[in-house]
Amino acid sequence: MRIILGVCGSISAYKSLDIARELFKKGHQVRVVLTKGSEKFVRPEVFRYLGCEEVYLAGDDFIYPAEKNDLEGTVLHVTLAKWCDRVVVAPLSANFLAKIVRGEAFDLLSSLLLALPANIELLFFPAMNTEMLSNPFTIENLKLLNNLSQKFSLFVHPTSSGLLACGDKGEGKLASVEEIVEITDCFKEVKNPKSILISTGATKAPLDSVRYLTNRSSGLTGYYLAKEALKLGHKVVLIAGEESTSKLNLLINIPNIKIIYVKTNSQMKDAVESSFKEADCYISSAAIGDIEFDIKNQKIKKSDLSDSLMITKASDILKGILEIRRPDQKVVGFAAETDLSESLMQEKQSRKPVDLLVGTKVNNGLTGGELQGFATDRGQYLFLENNQFLRAELNKEELAALIIGKVLS
């Protein structure tokens, strides 16, 4: 993807170096446009060392194309607007905000914004002192900017709270580099998006007020599935076990995603069933517990423990969903198994006829053998679709791309 990184005059401009570097590492083509204020905080040459194709200063519009003629065209701000797929302004200063909401074209970056085609995604990440952020002028300017999202593919990220460079504590911090990069990587708006429901992570089966049974599922599969769907512009409802990967927090501010955290099997069941009606596709990637106990409200004392525990089968969420699905809804099931065989997959498919069954080999690493499937980035998978099998070893990003590609084809 071709990305313009706009950098304004804020003390947090130094973080734009890390943003540029991480975007380059993800395989994006990055060109940087500095405002006059940001030129006081960062050196243009450093961006080139970090992998950026080119860096432009605020006044470079006036020396193009004689000295910067590496692109076709004669007007730099127009040429760059046609070149890019996405514009990210990080940090967005109060001064630059106040001018662009009035449609001013006073430097290369502001002129570029006015020349952008309407279909180009435009992401803003504000950063400023708390008092500046809470000033009525700034509040009104942010409202004006947000209102433009009705006419453009535009997103304004909220600031973070903490210790500011000036020594004050409060709102106004630039979002983390990791969050900016993740959102830049997967923010997309399209007409008529699909609605994708995903469950991920582990549920817990409480035994008493202290103990519970669970597994080592990290929720990484659901995280990558959500990212892949968001990249294509679709809407996501992600229902996650409460101890799922903290990476989910990187997606929480994206407009097209809703994340619901649950603890138990019954909470997962309620959340999935209440969201399924509006979904075009349900991907059941959660490691949902299939055992429940007769829960005690107090801790069971050692003296009261016997050699066995009474257990019951937990609700089969996927089976229940298949009973109420409409013909136009697709369902993807997961089978976590220590023995991943074709006969086992066929037996599961006969009981729960999903559109795609994804078998994954798992081992918690506690009873012998290496850790597999859980909390790891790579896994061994067996796919069953239309009575055809496919074996593959994939990382979870590759797995997500394969699944989303199949269900949305």
pLDDT in tens, the chain (409 residues): 999 999 999 999 999 999 999 999 999 999 999 999 999 999 999 999 999 999 999 999 888 766 666 777 788 999 999 999 999 999 999 999 999 999 999 999 999 999 999 889 999 999 999 999 999 999 999 999 999 988 889 999 999 999 887 888 999 999 999 999 999 999 999 999 999 999 999 999 999 999 999 988 899 999 999 999 999 999 999 999 999 999 999 999 999 999 999 999 999 999 999 999 999 999 999 999 989 998 888 998 988 888 888 899 999 999 999 999 999 999 999 998 888 899 999 999 999 999 999 999 887 766 666 777 676 788 899 999 999 999 999 999 999 999 999 998 7
Kindly give the interhelix angle for 220-231 and 177-186, rounded to the nearest 10 degrees.
50
Amino acid (1-letter code) at residue 401: A
Nearest alpha-carbon partner for 301 in 206, 204, 211, 205:
211
Mind giving me the DSSP string for 330-359? Answer: EEEEEEEESS--HHHHHHHHHHS--SEEEE
Report how many helices (DSSP H) and strands (DSSP E) the chain contains, helices first. Answer: 13, 20
Look up the domain containing 398 and give its range.
195-407
Q: How many CB atoms lie within 10 A of CB 119?
A: 10
The tokens describing 370, both together, are 């290496």
**Cα atoms found within 13 Å of the Cα of residue 141, Cβ hemisphere only:** 21
Any idea which residues carry the catalytic annotation?
Answer: 166
Number of domains present in the structure of the chain: 2
Predicted local distance difference test score (pLDDT) of residue 266: 95
Asked if 93 contacts 124 with a C-beta cutoff of 8 angstroms, the reply is no
Would you call 328 helix, strand, or coil by DSSP? coil
Q: Which long-range contacts (CB under 8 A, 24 or more apart) does 139-147 make?
A: 141/94, 141/97, 141/98, 141/101, 142/97, 144/101, 145/97, 145/100, 145/101
Q: How far is CA 143 from CA 87, 97, 127, 188, 236, in A?
A: 20, 11, 16, 21, 26
Same domain, yes or no: 203 and 301:
yes
Predicted local distance difference test score (pLDDT) of residue 69: 63
Predicted local distance difference test score (pLDDT) of residue 348: 94
Same domain, yes or no: 15 and 143:
yes
Same domain, yes or no: 214 and 137:
no
Same domain, yes or no: 274 and 330:
yes
Beta bridge partners of 204: 264
Instruction: Write out the H or E segment, with its range, that includes residue 100.
Output: helix 94-100
Predicted local distance difference test score (pLDDT) of residue 38: 97
Burial class (CB in 10 A: 0-12, 13-18, 19+), 256: buried
Nearest alpha-carbon partner for 19 in 90, 85, 120, 93:
90
Burial class (CB in 10 A: 0-12, 13-18, 19+), 150: exposed
Q: How far is CA 387 from CA 151, 328, 347, in A?
A: 46, 20, 12
pTM score > 0.75 for this model? yes
Same domain, yes or no: 274 and 398:
yes
Instruction: Write out the H or E segment, with its range, that includes residue 75.
Output: none
Beta strands in 114-189 (DSSP E): 121-126, 154-156, 160-163, 169-173
Asked if 126 contacts 88 with a C-beta cutoff of 8 angstroms, the reply is no
Report the CATH number that the domain containing residue 133 is assigned in CATH.
3.40.50.1950
Same domain, yes or no: 308 and 367:
yes
The tokens describing 367, both together, are 């009873």
Same domain, yes or no: 224 and 170:
no
The tokens describing 241, both together, are 């076990």
Predicted local distance difference test score (pLDDT) of residue 160: 94
Same domain, yes or no: 230 and 369:
yes
- Pick the last residue of a domain from 186, 209, 242: 186
Nearest alpha-carbon partner for 201 in 246, 149, 145:
246
Asked if 297 contacts 209 with a C-beta cutoff of 8 angstroms, the reply is yes
- Pick the last residue of a domain from 160, 186, 212: 186
Would you call 163 helix, strand, or coil by DSSP? strand
Report the CATH number that the domain containing residue 199 is assigned in CATH.
3.40.50.10300
Same domain, yes or no: 154 and 200:
no
Same domain, yes or no: 199 and 180:
no
Same domain, yes or no: 293 and 383:
yes
Predicted local distance difference test score (pLDDT) of residue 375: 66
Same domain, yes or no: 175 and 244:
no
Q: How far is CA 241 from CA 262, 268, 286, in A?
A: 5, 8, 8
- Pick the last residue of a domain from 186, 203, 224: 186
